[in-house]
Chain A
Amino acid sequence: MLAFIMTVPPSRSERQDGVIENYIAKIAAGDQETLTLLYQQTSAAVYGFALSILKNKQDAEDVLQDTYIQIWNAAGGYTPKGKPLAWIFTITRNLALMRIREQSRTVTIEPESWQSLFADEPAVTSEDQLVLASLMETLSDQERQIVVLHAMTGLKHREIAELLNLRLPTVLSKYNRALKKLRNVLKEDN
């Protein structure tokens, strides 16, 4: 398991957007070391978002991999608009939706298997397993995507609404509802 030295912090600043855009420019110039840096800083968010759409560990891992290959290939065409994370997560979303379409149905894992699914991952604690299982079992698809994007990426609700093609009030409502559900479930389990 890779040690994540940095993750995209919750409070994202324009400066951080600038850093990511700079990364993309370097990747466009063929710099694999920068691709490595970008991966280290964003892969958890990309994986979380992919998992939240696909609800399938193996598919999410594949989409994680494909996202960075796509970034590598498409970086030359990226137009800096101050929204590099939205660009990255749009790639992830498109790949995930493509996978769903290709499979024509998503292989849904039975709820009780979510906790055990990560049991053999040494880095995943029992509390982590509980949180992951709660995310997958308790929330609707959109609620899960909204919560994961907000928690992992620092994207604002407005940006999430744009990314998911939802209205802002819908995102706010689903976000609040989802957190409440999670809080209840985790409280019960504790």
Chain B
Amino acid sequence: MTDYELEQRICTAVEHATPDRLDKILSSCNQQNTRTCTPVCKETRADGQAEGAIMDMLERKHKNFRWGSARKSLASIVALAAMFVLYSRGSNLCTVPAVDSVIMLDVNPSLSLSVDAEENVLSVEALNGDAEKVLGNMELKDTSLEVAVNAIIGSMLQKGYLGDLQNTILVSVENEDAAQGEVLQQKVTEAIANAVQNSSLDAAVLSQSICTDDAVLAAKAAEYHISLGKAVLIQEVIAQVPTLTFEDLAPMSINEIALITVSKNVSIATVTQSGAASNKAYISQEKALNVVYNHAGMTMEDVIEMEIEFDSKHGTLVYEVEFETATKEGEYEIDAVTGEILKSELKNRDNAEVGFGYIGAAAAKETALAHAGVTAGDILEIKIELDSDDHIMIYHVEFETGTKKYAYKIHAVTGAVVTSEAKDQKNGTSKNNSSSVSSGNSSYIGEAAAKKAALSHAGVAESNTAYIKCYLEYEDGKPAYYCVEFKVDKTEYEYEIDLYSGTVLDCEVENHSNSEKP
């Protein structure tokens, strides 16, 4: 049976065993889009509204959007919107009785539009200095929502608030009527698409409907000069990533927040996204890692585990890098724009492992040395690695004294010696122990004899081999046979030799290059 035929059998078996979860997946995807707010009666939704006028994606993702749990009266939501505008900015642009919806746009500029039931703009509120620059002398009152959005987005493009480096816009809609909220979300998103279609901008749009009477959150939004919609988004993000704070995210652009949420696999069911946030303003992950490697005096080859994510440090976008080598673990924060190291922590893995309930590399080493009857001063070379072995965390401790080589497996939690091996470096004979086996068996033929048996069977002289290696193979934790591997020209040999008699149990001759598929 060739490698390819064997792999085909594996493919077939797994394919046959794979369950059909498609319906559940599709159902779950639909449910995720409806999770934000409790359902209202489907009958309230006007059939056929906005058909064909909305981007396909939004059509699909919004089909099941419904308003929130607390069904407030029109008066209460209008009052909330009015209070927010009044208290946050101290101006009185909002005519309370006529306001039907509040639409908030956040890029870094944050602004809020109040519209009536006919989608005419009643007022526009700049929530921060950047938004004031965007609005300039524009008079948007009494224009249609679509015209106002077009003008605002156009101004953001012209003034450089939107571009290749920052391409993400958050649209938040407050409206008591779920169906109307959906329509407005879609209309604003479409208006944004129209506004950027003649530019080179590949915009990303996050959109959400919000329904909150959280006065504390509204106050925070006012404090940071952002919209209530952006505050709601931030609240959702920090609920999923507790290491982030409101203060970390509030100063950041929506583009940066979007990069962090993607990087940290944050999924917010209430937010619909089209397009991807731009990462062009930032150094690449590879560059950030090179900064770390250089500072830590290591190479990529040393890394055992590594995680790199976007994060926020006091409002600055950073790469958060965490890694482990065989002996160390590090945590870095790299400024995502400049590549400057903002934080660096490098410590021996020992400490961190103890924190996870492992005994630590030092204790594993001590256990192995004590078991071998060797002192630290006798060791010429030692390697300690933490790895999983059939879901059990094991310290692999290998060391040499000049006359012997030792290999230990130490249970990472209990510190028990799982297996041990001591090999004489002069003649290659070895002793093997395992927790389930009695002490080494001196009646084994030894590696030299095993090699000889294999070479003899193959009719090959050791001097003609490109390499030859011999080791004990274990089955169920017990030594089973000697495995002898060697290569002559392009031919690779693998032998299994009986531990006691030196009999050839199995042999395989193959071309190593066949292991890659055609």
Contact = CB atoms under 8 A, between A and B. Distances in A.
Interface of A: 1-2, 4, 7, 10-11, 28-32, 35-36, 39-40, 43-45, 47-48, 51, 55, 61, 64-65, 68-70, 72-74, 76-79, 94, 100, 105-106, 108, 118, 121, 123-125, 127-129, 131-132, 135, 140-141, 147-148, 150-152, 154, 156-157, 165, 167, 172, 175-176, 179-180, 182-184, 186-187
A44 B15 contact: yes
B418 to A, nearest CB: 14
B25 A39 contact: yes
Interface in B1-25: 1, 3-4, 6-22, 24-25
B508 interface: yes
A72 B29 contact: yes
A121 B263 CA distance: 38
Interface in B481-518: 494, 506, 508, 512, 515-518
Most buried by A among B24, B263, B305: B24
B276 A183 contact: no
A47 B14 contact: yes
Closest 10 CB pairs of A and B: A77-B262, A30-B57, A151-B7, A128-B13, A48-B14, A2-B20, A131-B13, A29-B57, A47-B18, A44-B15
Interface of B: 1, 3-4, 6-22, 24-26, 28-29, 32, 55-61, 204, 258, 261-263, 265, 267, 273-277, 279, 301, 303-306, 388-391, 494, 506, 508, 512, 515-518
Given A76-B274, A108-B391, A180-B508, A32 B10 contact: no
Given A11-B518, A36-B22, A79 B279 contact: yes
Given A2-B20, A64-B21, A77-B276, A132 B13 contact: yes
Contacts of B4: 10
B29 A157 contact: no
B1 A78 contact: no
Nearest to B506: A184
25 contacts: A10-B4, A11-B518, A28-B57, A28-B274, A36-B26, A43-B22, A45-B14, A51-B17, A61-B19, A64-B19, A65-B21, A65-B28, A70-B265, A76-B204, A76-B275, A77-B262, A79-B276, A131-B10, A141-B391, A151-B10, A165-B303, A172-B515, A182-B10, A183-B6, A184-B506
Contact of B9 (A48, A100, A131): A131
Given A64-B19, A106-B391, A152-B10, A157 B516 contact: yes
Contacts of A167: 301
Contacts of A74: 262, 265, 267
A150 B24 CA distance: 28
Given A43-B18, A74-B265, A32 B60 contact: yes
Contacts of A78: 276
A100 B7 CA distance: 27
Q: State the majority secondary structure of interface residues on A.
A: helix
Given A152-B10, A179-B6, A121 B29 contact: no
Most buried by B among A40, A68, A78: A68
Contacts of A131: 9-10, 12-13
A183 B1 contact: yes
Nearest to A95: B265
A127 B12 CA distance: 10
Contacts of A70: 265, 267
B512 A30 contact: no
A39 B22 CA distance: 7
B223 to A, nearest CB: 29
A61 B21 contact: yes
A146 to B, nearest CB: 11
A63 to B, nearest CB: 10
B3 A179 contact: yes
Contacts of A7: 11, 15
A55 B518 CA distance: 30
Contact of B390 (A10, A118, A140): A140
Contact of B18 (A4, A10, A69): A4
Contacts of A47: 14, 17-19
B512 A176 contact: yes
A151 B56 contact: no
Contacts of A152: 10-11, 14
Contact of A29 (B18, B274, B277, B508): B274
Given A29-B274, A156-B516, A128 B1 contact: no
Contact of A73 (B12, B22, B32, B517): B32
A165 B306 contact: yes
Contacts of A156: 516
